[in-house]
Chain A
């Protein structure tokens, strides 16, 4: 029995040392390549900083006329200006990424038994495994 317990002790120590070593090596490698990838992806941004400033100036120049042209959307009662602004920002971001310009005519609550984020969460968590 003593031999068996001795073996068990050796297995515990060996096992924990190997598991921790492997995972610590992975921590180091992931941290290192994370740093490398971040530094590589940050580099071109600096070079492009000047054109971006020009773009911003253009946007500023255009924005007053756009503001004048837009009509404020009909928002449902109970929605604060901040929420309307957030929704407008999300739509604007979609317009920018797809290249198609979208407008907001009205903001109404969708009739659904479960919030769409909750539905997404349930779908994500109830898939097998």
Chain B
């Protein structure tokens, strides 16, 4: 009797999640709990980390099947049964039996599969044995939500919201900021080279390199197109480094600039008229999409959102994309990206390499922006503060705030924020263009 109880308890344990778990899943659940701690207690990027970390927990729970794919069974139609039951060949059945008569025979043989009768009738007409797909099991909830990532739907929708939140005024007032936004994209291409040196194939190297764009949606978009299997580590690395911008950037900025350069006070930007702000998104969308069609989904949506904001005639749409839409998409994106971080696939040497290359990408992007800022400092005879170049990595508005903070340390009366917002939003457009280039080459 005791043996029976013992056996049933053991069967219960073996059938539960504990019986099937790999150690990697436990480790991932621990990492996810740590990320939740950072988000909830330390308030590090909670809007992103909470859904990502919880998605990681859900994906590493066995048997829940939240990321499970739907399965289809290929089932042969029992036409042979029909042949055996009638004692005739397919050709004879075709000549002598009507559809109703065949249905009667099938009803006697397979009364539960009534939906297959027309297919059998067609098989008799075609004189061949058919197969049909029978859905065996539906996919998990997160699998279906993940299609928005896989098909590249969520990142452009997030760009729509970002566009509606962004004021491109500083960039329009000082278009030269575009150069700083372009220079910071150097991080993407240098990292691509490093990733190739580390023997990553081109498509994977391009996905890793885009982390240097410091733009989560862009990184996810490019990776979903070029190397979907690497989505988990790349998204986690991109968002982690974006949260760490205030720690990563200042040492590089100080190392590459002198006290005199950091103290430069820039002249006030000219006021930008409403007409310019309305024309800007239309112009950028047309020009970028014509030159680089593969960047159109990201840049097009960014500019549509901005047109909602600046036109002033669709306030309801502008508010919706800035709030409800972007929040809903962030939930779906965060949870499903987190759910791609399954222990067995996530905890590999490649992930460690990706994390390190991502850090290098961020550092090189910051350094390139600052160095180009120094060039502009020399060319303009000391009118441009090179610190604003660091904001050329997207990470809006964090990177601009870092430039403001570092500049104000040297000169408390210096306000670089609006000057840094120019390269910052130029960086968003620049990284979308760089993403378009990579997709055009390797997509």
Spell out A's residues near B (CB within 8 Å): 4-5, 7-9, 11-12, 14-16, 18-27, 29-31, 33-34, 37-38, 41, 125, 127-129
Contacts and interface: CB of A to CB of B under 8 A. Distances in A.
Contacts of B206: 11
A99 B192 CA distance: 60
25 contacts: A5-B197, A14-B437, A15-B192, A18-B437, A19-B182, A19-B434, A20-B179, A21-B291, A22-B288, A23-B179, A23-B181, A23-B430, A23-B433, A26-B287, A26-B288, A27-B179, A30-B172, A30-B175, A30-B178, A33-B276, A34-B175, A37-B273, A41-B273, A128-B326, A129-B165
B224 interface: no
B192 A12 contact: yes
Name, among A31, A41, A125, A128, the residue most crowded by chain B CB atoms within 10 Å (CB to CB).
A128
Interface string B145-170: 00000000000001001100100000
A40 to B, nearest CB: 8
Contact of A19 (B196, B287, B433): B433
Given A11-B189, A12-B189, A129-B162, A30 B182 contact: no
Given A22-B291, A23-B179, A128-B330, A37 B275 contact: yes
B120 interface: no
B58 interface: no
- For the residues of A in contact with B, the DSSP-based class is helix
Interface of B: 47, 158, 161-162, 165, 171-172, 175-176, 178-179, 181-182, 185-186, 188-190, 192-193, 196-197, 202, 205-206, 273, 275-276, 279-280, 283-284, 287-288, 291-292, 326-327, 330, 396-397, 401, 426, 429-430, 433-434, 437-438, 441
A23 B182 contact: yes
Given A16-B186, A125-B401, A22 B433 contact: yes
Contacts of B188: 15
A24 B178 contact: yes
A4 B204 CA distance: 13
Nearest to A128: B47
Contacts of B288: 22, 26
Given A9-B193, A15-B437, A128-B47, A22 B292 contact: yes
Name, among B176, B182, B326, the residue most crowded by chain A CB atoms within 10 Å (CB to CB).
B182
A102 B189 CA distance: 59
Contacts of A7: 196, 202
A18 B178 CA distance: 13
